[in-house]
Structure 1
Amino acid sequence: MTVPRSTLRLQFHRGFTFDDAAKHVDYFAALGISHVYASPVTTAEPGSMHGYDTVDYTQVNAECGGEAGLKRLADKLRAHNMGLIVDVVPNHMGVGGSSNAWWLDILEWGRHSAYARHFDVDWHSPDPALRGKVLAPTLGAPYGEELAAGRIALHFAADSGRFYIGYGPHVFPVCPIDYPAILQSADRADLSALAERFHGLTTQPADQPRAAEGRDMLREFVAQNGGSAIELVLESYSPADPVTRDRLHRLIERQHFRLAWWRTASDEVNWRRFFDISTLAGVRVERPEVFEAVHALIFRLYQEGVVDGLRIDHVDGLAEPREYCQRLRQRLTELRDTAPYVVVEKILGRGEPLRDDWPVDGTTGYDFMNDVGALLHDPAGAEPLGETWAELTGRSPRFTDEALAARRKILAENLSAELDRAARALHRIARDSLTTRDFTFTALRRVLAELVVHFPVYRVYPQNGLRSAADNVYFEQALAGARETLSRADYVVLDRVNAWLGGSAEEAPNVRGNAQSQQQGQNGAPPSHAGSARRTAQTLFSQLTAPVAAKAIEDTACYRYGRLLSRNEVGSDPGEFALSVAQFHAANLERSQRFPHAMLATATHDHKRGEDMRARLAVLSEISHDWSATLRAWSTLNAPHRRALDGKPISSVSHDTSYDWSPGPAAEAMLYQTLVGSWPPDLKPDDEAGVKELAERVAQWQLKALREAKLQTNWLAPDEAYEAGCRDFLFDILAPQRRNGFLRELSAFVARIGRAGALNSLQQTVLRLTSPGIPDLYQGTELWDFSLVDPDNRRPVDFAKREAWLAQTPPSEFLANWHDGRVKLAVVQRVLALRAHLPELLSQGTYLPLAVRGAHASSVIAFARRHGNAWAVVVASRLAAGLLGEEDDGSGLSMVDPAKWGDTAIEMPADLAGRASFDWLSPAAPKVDENGLLYLRDALSAMPIAVLVEDGVPRS
């Protein structure tokens, strides 16, 4: 297996192509990267900036340079002994426009389409209006209004010979069985003759080739005779006249799709979506033919050596993640002699293990990002910051309360249709038994909803219809929560649902009223379909808990709860405030033993705040009382700039905890944290252009945050007056005339915590580069990363600047000018060089936590990596705001004065006693005394972090 030494994530789109990346391969190599890690390369919706809306799995995205461009990039990487890892999206496809041929085919032919089973469509909806149809919730207003307004119309595509219903950019093919009626509507002999080609057609697969022949004749007819005859046909279905509009409506009603207002999706959609996004349709990759179709291009590129490894997106959306990973590994192994490198995007709860029976190399690193981020926080700040948050906002100090409310909201308003579908699966099981036939759909839905609401992790993974012991750890928590909220009358239903969802192998017999079936039930032989019905219900349950968790936690509660925003991150639990050194060591040890090649991330294309923004905000946990006082002072100072809900200015507002003013207490408190975290290190309050640029970025974040919170406004029904008031508030407090008021205070506060924030960043960086696993670098984060949520975190990267700043100078030489970020770049370059110089040391070396003693032992983390006779001892300052002291002029070093460490020392491995080790990050060579102690005043004399190396080479 080709295991990466380090990876660099790049976001490809039409503005940054494969050829653009190839221009910077020299830089990537000089930085020390071994593999470029690409966003999805398959064809996405035109103009996609992320690539996760795949419309064609069989072609490399032409907007990014196509297959030729991808191969040019791969060749350039090979020339530097580098490799390529690509992101694969097997869970869903983009269906929001007119580019997905598979989706268009099922719109045209319905359940007889060759791709009908490629997508997770419920063709047997209980709604008569949707039986055999696909809901198309794309209309901007109710269907009748859009039809009457003429925005829905019949069109003809001359290049393909197809009739289709058009709505804006959307295309809905008309089934060819309706072509005779359409063509005969113009009452022309030539068109009636063409109509004969389509007479007697059915939707059966055997008839579909005849339809293709007829369309070819139509295309030739138009090419030879012009489009005037077809125009007459279209006029007979014109929405402008009531008679022809009614004909158009009746034509639409006969199709295999139902055009609908976009707001119907949450309640009525009859196909699995990616979360609640109605432009992304779930793919049934568990079916062998679909699996092969989805991966055919990737398999070929892997076999040809273009691609070296895969990152699997949203593995929890799949019906059977375990089986998927096993099948993927097997197929890849068949294609090349070397074992493939495969990681999965998986959100893990605290203590939740990545399953051992998934043949993958680990996760994409959200778990590490959570661990190292929590390590930066002082646990003493949790309670006072929670109390301040509750006092200022009137909201709960506990994240669990926000999470529970958010789960209920998402389930009721965003994923109601998905809940209905899962409840129907359970209802079908119930109806198959005399003992449960009286369990109503409503009762089952109520019970199921409580299980989903209280589910503590993304999902479970039953095998052969039964949950494992690991699954039951989390399912029991959901059961306990459901019992607390359900009536006792529902307990019998809850117990049975527990069994059906994998809690018991016992299966009630299928009794339908006849003697033979009753005898079968008495003999205890379950019907042949019973196990399949249970597995269907289990799959639908798991494909419901995962999106509910994602939408409720990441996309709702994290925008409502603001105790400290540095803990509100993808893959994190904001309720878990801090992680101890011992807990961090334990997580590293487990990873080294179970998944030593997992990715280690601190920034991703999905992060809500840049890694250095989080590191700076974490400092607030160390000065919680000062920050609480600052919040109150700023709230008072800026009260005159608040707006009423209609966006108009108001002179003053009391500390009301309701949302009767803009932006409201919670949104305002989170806004101040965002400004503190994202303020560039060198930005001055009198820099009007710089402040305005920041304000525009924060305004973009603010709008998304307000809508994601789903309180005063949301994506479904935006309150534009409230949003405008919030934006006005932001621009008012950052206006040039505040340069001597709020802007000066904001800038001064950032300067005060800036050094501690930079120290946290360097600690986070060195831990990512030296912990067990494969360090992943997100594009551009070699320098300070104070980005906000997408699209801010996907802005263009100035790679030329970064390349120009590469140097062989020790990182310690750049510490004095830490504001420019070169010290971080130098640390990344230097430690990646170590990984290349002694590759086994950090990729395979034993992980040894080191004890620290002395007055400031709690402000240090240290561990050793050992491989053979080679050693690397990693030392980092932590929770050191109190040791740094005040900074007023911005010129201080981002490290603790060595003298302040006093007697603090690391208990070193016996093999290193009495020896000096070379610091990979500075000219220092601190010596371990004869008692095996390494004093921090020596180890951290030049930098707040150190990587002390003993390469095991005998010295003469």
Structure 2
Amino acid sequence: MESTYRLQLRPGFGFAEAADIAEYLAELGVGAVYTSPVLTPTPGSTHGYDVVDPTRANPELGGEAGRAAMVARLRALGLDLVVDIVPNHMAVEVPSANQWWWDVLAHGPSSRFAGHFDIASFPVLVPVLGSDDEVSQLTVDGDRLRYHDHEFPIAPGTGEGTAQEVHERQHYRLVDWRRASKELNYRRFFDITTLAGVRVEVPEVFEDTHREVLRWIADGDVQGLRVDHPDGLADPGGYAERLAERAGCWIVVEKILEPGESLPASWPVAGTTGYDALREVCGVFVDPAAEKAVNAIAADLGVPTDYGSVVDECRRLITDTSLAAEVTRIARLLSDVDIERASRVVAEVMAAFPVYRSYQPEDDEHWLAAVEAVRGTHPDLADAVDTLDRQVRADPRGELATRLQQTSGMVVAKGTEDTAFYRYTRFVALNEVGGDPGRFGVGLDEFHAAQASREATHPRAMTTLSTHDTKRSEDVRARLAVLAEIPDEFAEVVRRWTERRGLPEPTLNLLAWQTLVGAWPITADRLADYLTKASREAKVRTSWTDGDEEFDAAVAAWPHQVLGDPGLLAEVRAFAARITPPGWSNALGQKLLQLAGPGIPDVYQGTELWDLSLVDPDNRRPVDFTERRDLLDKLAAGWPPPVDETGAAKLHVVRTVLRLRRERPELFTGYRPVGAEGPADQHVVAFERSGLIAVATRFPARLTDWGGTRLALPVGSWVDQLTGRASDGDLAETLADYPVALLLRGE
């Protein structure tokens, strides 16, 4: 496969609907359909990551018959299939839907499936009650214990007496949901108690959870796998080796790499799912020279500009609250240190990790960096740090080392992506999964070095610009990047707008104005839903578990007030119009660099046209494929689309590159930067593959004209595949119609 197209399957858009658009995707040039998880999830799931039965295809998507019919359609059109799998956890929100979990609750340690889940002790705490006193509301209904709409099994021979007496005899305890953060005794996915950790490092568990997917691969139905959240596994490297050996297909892992971090060399996978590429491709369109001005705006509005301090604060918030149970469980494994100091040192080390997790014994570098950081900042913990370090390195595959590494990824992700990214709002185009908001943009040399490295080490890794997990879509980020070119203009309007209708919390206020212009036009309801989520994730004035009704109401009302203010609305509309055309230029540039660059590019559903989506669930809205089919037909007939609000120009870029990748894959090998000469040389980024050159415009809002700037083209005749026009390197002519070009060497 030379490219993938991500589809978010859900009830109402299942296997049959995917088969219906397969011809469109083939005509677009896609190499493989890449689906969200298709094994059976919690009934009604809109995303599929909450699997309850890994042994059968999701009946709400069409079941096994629907899956087989979709595969037949894809095969007929020459399309591969890549599926998303979730080895780290299973859903337990509806116990009766998950027969393995139901059996564990019914039979406790004697259940055949007790070892499938990462349970520390019995009885298992099930945090569903409004308060512990509500145990009085339990009722017995045959062989089930009920609490409102929740039902749980009653162990054989334990059903006599009152509901409360029956409850005390079970292998589980229903408790106040608030106790989960400090007392939960099973591993979960991050802080989500309804997703219980699975022990795929156990051979029997691996077989039970992967048997059906491996059958699909063996039958030729599936050609690739995307592995969700490998950092949550006890032994990610061992898992990758086992999966690669059994599957023998293209495998990418959802591994978040910090800038400068590499995927462990021993993992037999094609690479990551591409957040590292996202940071590089999006960052090269952000002008680093604007950082000082952007910091001044943020500071003036009361928004912090020291990213490291915000991250430290947020990670410690997570270790002390939502993941306190995990910290305590690890601390109990530390010998010769009292539990209070052990908990503190464990929390500090996990918060200090420079990456999501280490992979011992293969990688000691990041573990040692975290340990040294704590030694330097907390000398009072020196003896406890030494003890922890000694015990971890003495047994790098033991339970203490394993749980520390599993949990550090949770701390980093929850503290950084899901907290700091919503607090550190000085310039939110940079606040993306896999990114580093503290680094303002990506320079040309860094960009080219990263692409050359990918081509040399992981040429078949996935690359992406938008996913179901991105905080905002690629086109929102592309438009927001324009603000770095006109920081003074943005500072003027945001100060004026804040005086008129600012939100009462500074970091949310600055986030809100950036979101409004970045996603414009946006409805008040969509913006209200987004800001409600953002404010709760930030955990400054409100949160999911400890809300502030007055503040929450103000946040929900704000979009309606802004859009209902005619004078302010006119200003917002005018400013959005100012940054939209250069935002289109950035968006086309990003897309071209991603699609033509090293790796296997993924196109997230719908993003072949302009897409101004925000974080989930906003980015899972239905896609209008009829509109896309109609525009694709016009392009096939030879229509040269303008760069306008339809987004047809982006579809033209996507179609052109994907079809070329499929028809002439030999062009997309190698990597060499292509420089420019002239007064506007910093406004272009270009590279050559093998007889193919991608050219994109940088910093379009500040670009007046190309003024004799030329690309240093290699010898030969070059023709732009987007326009059919020959190019001798003169950028004024090459980029006369579009801000991007794809030059192919003539025979």
Q: How high is the TM-score relative to the length of structure 2? A: 0.98
Contact 1:815 1:943 in 2 (8 A): no
Q: Give 1:113 shift.
A: 0.8
Aligned counterpart in structure 2 of residue 386 of structure 1, from 286, 295, 314:
295
* SS state at 1:55 partner: strand
Contact 1:276 1:415 in 2 (8 A): yes
Distance 1:169 1:344 in 2: 37
Distance 1:451 1:27 in 2: 50
Aligned counterpart in structure 2 of residue 846 of structure 1, from 653, 670, 678:
670
Cα deviations by residue, 1:671-730 (Å, 9 ceiling, x for unpaired): 1110001103xxxxxxxxxx6xx1110111011001101111100122222111122222
Q: Partner letter of residue 576 of structure 1?
A: R
Q: Partner letter of residue 292 of structure 1?
A: E
In the TM superposition, 1:657-696 aligns within 5 A as: 662-680=503-521, 694-696=523-525
Distance 1:173 1:86 in 2: 33
1:154 aligns with 2:151: no
Q: Give 1:814 shift.
A: 5.0
Q: Which residue of 1 aligns with 2:112?
A: 114
Distance 2:24 2:84 in 1: 22
Distance 2:617 2:93 in 1: 20
Distance 1:620 1:811 in 2: 37
Q: Which residue of 2 aligns with 1:483?
A: 375
Q: Which residue of 2 aligns with 1:903?
A: 708
Aligned counterpart in structure 1 of residue 326 of structure 2, from 418, 435, 451:
418
Q: Which residue of 2 aligns with 1:447?
A: 345
Aligned counterpart in structure 2 of residue 408 of structure 1, from 313, 316, 324:
316
Aligned counterpart in structure 2 of residue 715 of structure 1, from 531, 536, 544:
544
Q: Which residue of 1 aligns with 2:101?
A: 103
Contact 2:641 2:652 in 1 (8 A): no
- Structure 1: gaps spanning 5 or more residues: 124-131, 157-162, 183-236, 238-246, 334-339, 431-436, 506-530, 640-661, 681-690, 885-899, 928-933
Distance 2:243 2:635 in 1: 44
Cα deviations by residue, 1:528-576 (Å, 9 ceiling, x for unpaired): xxx48x6110111011100111111111111111111111111111112
* SS state at 1:767 partner: helix
Q: Which residue of 1 aligns with 2:725?
A: 924
Q: Partner letter of residue 722 of structure 1?
A: F
Q: Which residue of 1 aligns with 2:569?
A: 743
Q: Give 1:93 shift.
A: 0.3
Cα deviations by residue, 1:868-924 (Å, 9 ceiling, x for unpaired): xxx00111111121115xxxxxxxxxxxxxxx2123222223xx2xx3211101131
Contact 2:29 2:655 in 1 (8 A): yes
Contact 1:8 1:777 in 2 (8 A): yes
1:307 aligns with 2:238: no
Contact 2:107 2:155 in 1 (8 A): yes
1:804 aligns with 2:637: no
Q: Which residue of 1 aligns with 2:24?
A: 27
- Identity %, equivalent residues: 43
Q: Which residue of 1 aligns with 2:384?
A: 493
1:939 aligns with 2:734: yes
Distance 1:848 1:813 in 2: 32
Contact 2:529 2:556 in 1 (8 A): no
Q: Which residue of 2 aligns with 1:513?
A: none
Q: Which residue of 2 aligns with 1:81?
A: 78
Contact 1:362 1:599 in 2 (8 A): yes
Q: Give 1:663 shift.
A: 3.6
1:551 aligns with 2:414: yes
Cα deviations by residue, 1:151-195 (Å, 9 ceiling, x for unpaired): x21112xxxxxx12112332221111314xx2xxxxxxxxxxxxx
Distance 1:546 1:320 in 2: 13
In the TM superposition, 1:357-372 aligns within 5 A as: 357-372=266-281
Q: Partner letter of residue 333 of structure 2?
A: A
Contact 1:695 1:731 in 2 (8 A): yes
- Structure 2: gaps spanning 5 or more residues: none
Q: Partner letter of residue 721 of structure 2?
A: W
Aligned counterpart in structure 1 of residue 595 of structure 2, from 744, 747, 769:
769
Output the aligned Cα RMSD: 1.6
* SS state at 2:196 partner: strand
Contact 2:41 2:53 in 1 (8 A): yes
Contact 1:875 1:947 in 2 (8 A): yes
Q: Give 1:367 shift.
A: 0.8
Aligned counterpart in structure 1 of residue 239 of structure 2, from 313, 324, 327:
324
Contact 1:811 1:922 in 2 (8 A): no
Distance 2:638 2:33 in 1: 28
Q: Give 1:289 shift.
A: 0.1
Contact 1:422 1:540 in 2 (8 A): yes
Q: Give 1:808 shift.
A: 6.3
Distance 2:639 2:27 in 1: 19
* SS state at 2:97 partner: coil
1:273 aligns with 2:181: no
In the TM superposition, 1:76-225 aligns within 5 A as: 76-97=73-94, 98-123=96-121, 132-139=122-129, 141-144=130-133, 146-148=134-136, 150=137, 152-156=138-142, 163-179=143-159, 182=160
Q: Which residue of 1 aligns with 2:454?
A: 591
Q: Partner letter of residue 140 of structure 2?
A: L
Contact 1:361 1:597 in 2 (8 A): yes
Contact 1:675 1:698 in 2 (8 A): yes
1:603 aligns with 2:466: yes
Q: Which residue of 2 aligns with 1:294?
A: 209
Q: Give 1:112 shift.
A: 1.1
Q: Which residue of 2 aligns with 1:126?
A: none
Distance 1:814 1:563 in 2: 39
Q: Partner letter of residue 457 of structure 1?
A: V
Aligned counterpart in structure 1 of residue 283 of structure 2, from 361, 374, 379:
374
Q: Partner letter of residue 902 of structure 1?
A: G
Contact 2:525 2:559 in 1 (8 A): no
Q: How many residues align?
A: 746
Q: Partner letter of residue 264 of structure 2?
A: R
Distance 1:577 1:730 in 2: 29
Does the C-alpha gap of structure 1 residues 598 and 111 become closer, same or farther in structure 2, counting only changes over 3 Å? same
Contact 1:810 1:922 in 2 (8 A): no
Q: Give 1:807 shift.
A: 4.0
Q: Partner letter of residue 331 of structure 2?
A: A
Aligned counterpart in structure 2 of residue 341 of structure 1, from 225, 235, 250:
250
Distance 2:486 2:439 in 1: 18
Cα deviations by residue, 1:742-801 (Å, 9 ceiling, x for unpaired): 111001001111111000000001001100111101111111010011111000011111
Q: Give 1:480 shift.
A: 3.1
Distance 1:721 1:418 in 2: 33
Q: Partner letter of residue 141 of structure 2?
A: H
Following TM superposition, the consecutive aligned residue runs of length 4 or more in structure 1 with deviations greater than 3 angstroms are 807-817
Contact 1:450 1:481 in 2 (8 A): no
Cα deviations by residue, 1:91-147 (Å, 9 ceiling, x for unpaired): 000001131111111111111110111000002xxxxxxxx21010011x1121x23
Q: Partner letter of residue 560 of structure 2?
A: F
Distance 1:57 1:171 in 2: 22
Distance 1:64 1:20 in 2: 9
Q: Which residue of 1 aligns with 2:34?
A: 37
* SS state at 1:825 partner: helix
Q: Which residue of 2 aligns with 1:17?
A: 14
Contact 1:122 1:271 in 2 (8 A): yes
Contact 1:265 1:278 in 2 (8 A): yes
Q: Which residue of 2 aligns with 1:703?
A: 532
